[in-house]
């Protein structure tokens, strides 16, 4: 059962009299009904809620359209944590008087306490036109949407409450929770590919709570995806400043440094991570990538061999080794004296471990072509096309390789001679 604290936010007063009255009952009967209602209010004030329920029920028997008695009956049931009966009473009140905002609100509270969250949300929205300035209603709506993970609506109602009712007793709690709401809203937008909206949500998260490292981390990833590497680095640095020992944050920063062409900084950060976890193959591969960008091909090759010695069946590291072997000592891909035979053997080994990798088949096909082995090149590119017929490199080079495999002149060479 939901605790009675659900009702603490809005300590609704029990009404003594009926503002509208019941038009279809005579004056004496109406007076008796109001007397029973007044007795119920008195009993409720003494916390004698079961007796109050009886008194309000007697008032309703005498005046079936007595909406205030229904409202008070609902409050008494609520105090007894009989939320189903409370909802029925409030429902009767709004049927009699559809503009009864307080009854709509309390109907929502009862439904929410009874676990009927979607129904409660609909009822709160029914109440909103009648009590648009109610801080309690705004809070409840935000809470209901929170339970349904509708982060955008939580933000709407809680921001309204914080802005317009800063003295509300729940404001401090909402100010504490609102960053999480915006963060989750950012996640929803990010997962849906609405990156600009995700950035806006994460920035609001940080505006409220400047030390929210996870928001900075996701901002960094979005900026990196957008190619805004300078902004990504700044966001990563905020994460690292908050969590200097977070190896994942450091690794993410190093990867972005590589993309930013700050390879020396990337190497420094990767080495910091490896000083703590020296067996991390993914970090060592990142270090190799940074070394390649920094022009240290010999160091990159040495580091790759070190990975393979520690993890002999790591296909990603073998692919990295194949890529390195395609370069000569000066770092020129397919340049003079590059290790073509070793590169071929390494790609063949990689493809035994990862046979569906289109990039490896494509690279092997280009490598064979560079070696003048056109039939082998054709076979590799055809295999790549089987896996991904839309691969841009395969679409570009396959027709040329087919010509060479048939002994025809290479089309691009003919074009270049013109």
Radius of gyration for the chain, computed over Cα atoms and rounded to the nearest angstrom: 35
Local structure of 389: helix, strand or coil: coil
Predicted structure pTM score: 0.63
Residue-level pLDDT at 409? 66
| DSSP notation for 126-145 | HHTTT-TT-HHHHHHHHHHH
Q: What percent of the chain has pLDDT over 90?
A: 67
Question: Among the listed ranges 41-50, 151-160, 294-303, 337-346, which one has the minimum average pLDDT value?
Answer: 151-160
| DSSP notation for 301-364 | HHHHHHHHHHSTT-HHHHHHHHHHHTB-TTS-BT-TT--HHHHHHHHHHHHHH-TT-HHHHHHH
Q: In the structure, what pLDDT confidence band is assigned to residue 411 with cuts at 50, 70 and 90?
A: low
What is the average pLDDT across 46-71?
94
| Domain boundaries, given as residue ranges, for the chain | 1-132, 134-210, 355-418
CATH number of 134-210: 1.25.40
Task: Yes or no: say if 83 and 91 are a contact pair by the CB < 8 Å rule.
Answer: no
Residue-level pLDDT at 37? 93
Q: In the structure, what pLDDT confidence band is assigned to residue 27 with cuts at 50, 70 and 90?
A: confident
d(CA 123, CA 245): 48
Residue-level pLDDT at 162? 78
Residue-level pLDDT at 108? 94
Residue-level pLDDT at 192? 83
Q: In the structure, what pLDDT confidence band is assigned to residue 14 with cuts at 50, 70 and 90?
A: low
Local structure of 226: helix, strand or coil: coil
Higher pLDDT, 167 or 51: 51
Q: Which CATH architecture has domain 1-132?
A: Alpha Horseshoe (1.25)
Task: Yes or no: say if 329 and 349 are a contact pair by the CB < 8 Å rule.
Answer: no
pLDDT > 60? residue 144:
yes
What is the average pLDDT across 134-139?
87
d(CA 155, CA 72): 32
Residue-level pLDDT at 248? 94
Neighbours of 409 (CB within 10 A): 10
What is the average pLDDT across 274-297?
92
Pick from 130, 123, 121: nearest CA to 150: 121
pLDDT > 80? residue 15:
no
Task: Yes or no: say if 272 and 253 are a contact pair by the CB < 8 Å rule.
Answer: no
CA-CA distances (angstroms) from residue 409 to 148, 164, 365, 379, 412?
66, 77, 18, 19, 9
Residue-level pLDDT at 23? 46
Residue-level pLDDT at 277? 92
| Residues linked to residue 333 through DSSP beta bridges, in sequence order | 327
d(CA 227, CA 140): 41
What is the average pLDDT across 331-352?
92
Same fold, 1-132 and 134-210: yes
């Amino acid at each position: 059962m939901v605790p009675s604290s659900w009702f603490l936010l809005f300590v609704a007063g029990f009404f003594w009299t009926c503002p509208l009255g019941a038009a279809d009952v005579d004056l004496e009967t109406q007076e008796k009904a109001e007397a029973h209602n007044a007795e119920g209010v008195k009993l409720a004030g003494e916390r004698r809620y079961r007796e109050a329920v009886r008194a309000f029920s007697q008032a309703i028997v005498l005046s079936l359209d007595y909406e205030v008695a229904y409202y008070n009956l609902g409050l008494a049931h609520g105090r007894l944590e009989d939320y189903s009966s409370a909802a029925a009473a409030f429902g009767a009140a709004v049927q009699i008087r559809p503009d009864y905002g307080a009854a709509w609100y309390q109907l929502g509270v009862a439904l929410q306490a009874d676990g009927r969250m979607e129904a409660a949300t609909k009822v709160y929205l029914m109440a909103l036109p009648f009590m648009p300035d109610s801080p309690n209603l705004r809070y409840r709506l935000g809470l209901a949407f929170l339970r349904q993970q509708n982060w955008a609506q939580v933000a709407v109602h809680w921001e309204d409450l914080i802005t317009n009712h800063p003295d509300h007793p729940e404001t401090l709690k909402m100010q504490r929770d609102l960053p999480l709401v915006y963060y989750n809203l950012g996640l929803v937008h990010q997962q849906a590919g609405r990156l600009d909206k995700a950035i806006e949500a994460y920035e609001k998260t940080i505006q409220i709570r400047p030390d929210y490292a996870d928001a900075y981390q996701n901002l960094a990833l979005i900026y990196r995806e957008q190619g805004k590497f300078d902004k990504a680095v700044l966001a990563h640095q905020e994460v690292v400043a908050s969590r200097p020992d977070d190896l994942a944050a450091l690794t993410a920063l190093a990867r972005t440094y590589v993309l930013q062409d700050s390879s020396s900084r990337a190497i420094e950060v990767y080495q910091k991570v490896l000083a703590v976890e020296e067996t991390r193959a993914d970090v060592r591969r990142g270090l190799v990538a940074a070394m390649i960008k920094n022009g240290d091909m010999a160091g990159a090759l040495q580091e790759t061999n070190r990975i393979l010695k520690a993890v002999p069946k790591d296909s990603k590291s073998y692919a990295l080794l194949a890529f390195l072997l395609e370069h000569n000592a000066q770092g020129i891909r397919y340049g003079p004296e590059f290790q073509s035979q070793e590169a071929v053997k390494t790609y063949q080994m990689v493809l035994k471990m990862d046979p569906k990798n289109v990039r490896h088949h494509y690279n092997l096909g280009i490598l064979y072509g560079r070696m003048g082995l056109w039939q082998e090149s054709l076979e590799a590119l055809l295999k790549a096309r089987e896996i991904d017929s839309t691969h841009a490199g395969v679409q570009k080079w396959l027709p040329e390789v087919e010509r060479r495999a048939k002994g025809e002149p290479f089309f691009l060479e003919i074009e270049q001679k013109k």
